[in-house]
Structure 1
Amino acid sequence: MRKFIFGLIFLIGGFAVAQDSVRVLTLQECLNMASSRNLTIKQNQNNLIGAQSNKRQAYYNFLPNLNASGGYTYFDGNNIDFSGQVVSNTSRSSRPSISSNLVLFNAFANHHLLNRRKHEYESSRYQLEDSKIAIKATVIRNYLSVLVDTENVRISDQRLEFLEEQLDREKKRVSVGVGNLETVYNFQSQVANEKLNYVNLKNQYQSDLLALLQSIQLENYSGVRIAPLDLESLEILIEYDPYDQVLEEIMQYSFLLKSAEESESAANAQLKQTKANRYPTLTAGAAHSRNYTSILDVEYLEQFENTPSNSVGVTLNIPIFNRYQIQNGINNSKVTMLNAQLQNEQTILNVTNAAQRDYLDLVSAQTSYKTAQENYEALNQTFEFIKKRFETGNTDFYSYLESLNNKNRAEAQLINARYTIVLRKRILDLYRGNN
């Protein structure tokens, strides 16, 4: 009856997704989707574009500027002429000009700004690369959770089917007078408990699957499943490199740490740039202009040709008092630099802690795998033995149930350890640059 009901549910579900065939996603497909769709990655890509633009502008600051200006004035009113008489006139005038200025000295503020923009660009570039690795690690962890959930659901389903078969068997024994109702009631209780456990495991599976699909920005969730890993062809117990070597490679490769170091260097350059505002600046300038006025009875082009004016000069600007704005800017830059140093130290700590945690998870899984495998084989053998004794009435129900629980628990631990070894290795390889 139970298989019939599950078949009916599956059939109805098949009609519900008739338009959308079941889609099975592999781990690599999930990683590719996350890399191309993740919003954080896209934001960091935009930030990199902005940093590139700022760096380009810092180079342009070394060039002279070039500006053109022009205007047209119409005047209608009274004026006092050279004889002191008030005269009324109407005139038109214009003064087109072109000018250029070049900073000769500003205490290397432009150099410090360029250095700052370079470090900010590198920091943004490393942030982009780190976000790609971070989302991949998140997808792998979510994928691991779904795989483990899938196996737990499978084990629970097998356990429920087995308990229901035993319940039917005991009911038949009671019906022919060779069984007892206590055993029937015990099996009914265990079936009910296992059904609740099965539902909870299914809910956990759905929750973790949703988290995985959300992490890869998949819009249509219907009919989506994930492919299991082929653990049979993987050498999961290959000895991994020592922790010190792994940590050293992670610290050298970590884009997050490189980004923090570049941010600290950018903050140092910003402080030097701000301090440069204390010093004088020297600027050279040149201008060329022409004049026209309708007061003179001369054509516009003739006036334009005959009224050239050129100027060349230098300007020295010495800051004396500016309401402490420069000092306030220096103080703010110092705070930015100190915070960048602290952030760099915190990043080193975070990267180290993450490496320790992932490595410990891998080592723990490897250590427990062989034991879990031996344990499962022994408990499975014990269960088969106790099962036969229970069926022949030579052992009690509670011993039988305890043996079944031990077997199921050992099977779940074994599968969990195998998946953890494979995927934790992959996460560590990501952080080491072996991707």
Structure 2
Amino acid sequence: MPKREKDMLLPIRYIACLFVAVGAIVLQVVAQEAPTPDTLTLERSIELALAHNRNVQQSRIQTQGAAINLRQAKQNLLPSLDAGMSHSYSQGRFINPTTNQYVEENFVSGNQYVSSSLVLFDGLRMFRNITLQAHAYRATQLEEQLMEEQVALDVTAAYINVLTAKDMVAQIDSQVAVTQRQVERSTVLFDEGAIPPGDYYDLKGQYASDLNSLNAAKNTLSENLLDLFRLLNLPYDEQVSLAPLQAVPLPKAPMSDADGLYQTASERLGIIKAADHWQQQAEFSLKAARSSYFPTLSLGAGLSSNYSKDGMGSYYDQVQNNLGRSLAFSLSIPIFSRFQVRNNVARAKLDVLNAEQAAQTRRNELQQTTHQVLFNLEAAKERYRNLVEQVAHYTESFRIAEVRFNAGAINSVEFLIAKNKMDNANANLVIARYQWHLRQRIVDYYNGELLVGEAE
């Protein structure tokens, strides 16, 4: 190949390689930024939310902070150890630290020290602080579990709302198809003068109304899908599909009465245990505050040395010869602190009272909620069963009305009344079915069947 052709091919090869490299990078970035699968299940949606939801992540950060506080409380029992050294240059009249004599010259000196201290007794404040931090850490762990459980419930509700909206779109789309067939049939008859104009325009108006309902249902579907992705904290993907739920929800565990459900929830969920740990944390905070009434006894020890330019011997010899050792006991007795300790104890008592009230409130709210969720579940079941019968009756009524309308035995008003009754019943049945799903899963949660983490 001529040299000139080779020179022309080099830039082309370079550009081709550059495009391939850029394309690979773009594909990798897109793959990293689009972790959402093509089909979402409810379980996978909960997993994604627990991995990416901002509130869950914040709760985990708080738990890590509480773990650090507990570790620091334990490490406060260890002795402290400090070391230091200095080197100075002086000019004028100074005392030589090695000879204790005044000198008037340029003077170089330095010193070194190592010191340590250990608290022997502080009214058990540090031990009580360890205990209160342990309760705070456990409470924070349970609060993290509570957040995960709440997010799991929120995702379940959002997922069911999307499925409800999707089925509503399908339901209204079928209504539009029925109306459209009647409009097409009536248009032919109207052009031939075979039906009254009022019936024709009634059907046209109903068709426009059905189209508006379909558009509103599609908008609701998009909004519900957006709400789901907000909980997942992932980029919105309108192409994702959601796996359907079973036709009728079934409980994962034997149904309990209200009192049994309350007992199960209080034992297996973290909502009550977290409040109890916060209460114990407040009680030990009060004990730690009272420890300030007691004296504090500390032990200290240290090594120090110095050197100077005019000292005897080398630097190492001076450090060895001037070495000083110390051992000291320190006792601090609180006598009057402008009532700070007393006020701290008073505030700690208020914190205990507040924690007791919060724990009792949580118990009352849980007891009330477990009764309410059972009421809601039974009502959802009964509503679904009644609507199944209603849909069957209205479907048959509409079938008869359509036959009679096509035969000219009734007008458009009667036909549309029968159609709207059937359409509304079908829409209500879709909503009732998913409401039963949601109510059942809420009961399963309080029954301990939707746990995302075990409470010890």
Fold shared per TM-score above 0.5? yes
The CA deviation string for residues 311-362 of structure 1, in whole angstroms up to 9 with x for no partner, is 2221110112223332333333333333333333333344344434433332
1:329 maps onto 2:329 in alignment: no
Within the candidate set 175, 186, 210, 1:159 is matched to 175
Counterpart residue type for residue 324 of structure 1: F
CA distance in 1, matches of 2:417, 2:95: 117
Paired letter, 1:119: H
Q: Report the equivalent of 1:134.
A: 150
Aligned to 2:326: 311
Q: Give distance in 2, aligned partners of 1:237 and 1:52.
A: 35
Partner residue of 2:141? Answer: 125
**What's the % identity of the aligned pairs?**
26
Does the 8 Å CA contact 1:119/1:266 hold for their aligned counterparts? yes
- What's the offset of the Cα at 1:255? 1.7
Aligned position for 1:351 = 366
* Superposition deviation, residue 108 in structure 1: 0.6
Partner of 2:420: 405
Does residue 1:194 correspond to 2:226, yes or no? no
SS class of match (2:78) = coil
What is the CA–CA distance in structure 2 between the aligned matches of 1:166 and 1:132, rounded to whole Å?
51
The counterpart of 1:37, out of the listed 52, 64, 82, is 52
Segments of structure 1 that go 5 or more residues without pairing to the other structure are 1-18
Q: 1:150 aligns with which of 156, 161, 166?
A: 166
SS in 1 for 2:256: coil
Equivalent position of 1:112 in the other structure:
128
Q: Counterparts of 1:324 and 1:237 in 2: how far apart (Å)?
A: 58
Q: Which aligned runs of 4 or more in structure 1 are off by greater than 6 angstroms? A: 236-239
| Residue 390 (structure 1) aligns with | 405
SS of the aligned residue for 1:36 comes to helix
In the other structure, the counterpart of 1:228 is: 244
Select 2:287's aligned residue among 269, 272, 275: 272
For the Cα contact (< 8 Å) 1:133–1:431, is it kept in 2?
Answer: no
Alpha carbons 1:156, 1:194 under 8 Å: kept:
yes
Count of paired positions: 413
CA distance in 1 between counterparts of 2:431 and 2:254 reads 19
- Distance change in 2, residues 1:378/1:80 (3 Å): closer
Q: Does the 8 A contact of 2:159 with 2:228 survive in 1?
A: yes
Q: Does 1:418 align with 2:433?
A: yes
Cα distance per residue 1:89-143 (max 9 Å; x no partner): 3433333222221111111100110011101110111111111111110011111
For each residue in 1:160-183, what CA deviation from the matched residue of structure 2 results, as whole angstroms up to 9, or x when unmatched? 221121122222223334321111
Distance 1:222 1:22, change over 3 A: farther
Structure-1-length-normalised TM-score: 0.87
Query: Displacement, 1:424?
Result: 2.6
2:225 maps to which of 209, 223, 230: 209
Aligned partners of 1:22 and 1:223 also within 8 Å: no
C-alpha distance in 2, partners of 1:137/1:389?
Answer: 48
Q: Is the Cα contact below 8 Å between 2:164 and 2:434 reproduced in 1?
A: yes
- Answer yes or no: is 1:59 the counterpart of 2:74: yes
**Aligned with 1:170: secondary structure?**
helix
For residue 400 of structure 1, give the secondary structure of its aligned residue in structure 2: helix
Partner in structure 2 of residue 101 of structure 1: 117
Aligned to 2:299, the other structure's residue is in SS state strand
On the 8 A contact 1:64/1:101 being kept in 2, the answer is yes
Task: Name which of structure 1's ranges 205-214 and 330-339 shifts more when overlaid on structure 2.
Answer: 330-339
3-state DSSP of counterpart to 2:313: coil
Q: Please tell me whether the aligned partners of residues 237 and 366 of structure 1 are also in contact (alpha carbons under 8 angstroms).
A: no
Give the deviation of 1:158 after TM superposition: 1.2
Q: Give secondary structure in 1 for the equivalent of 2:244.
A: coil
Letter paired with 1:92: V
Instruction: Please tell me whether the aligned partners of residues 236 and 422 of structure 1 are also in contact (alpha carbons under 8 angstroms).
Output: no
Which stretch shows the higher mean deviation, 41-50 or 408-417? 408-417
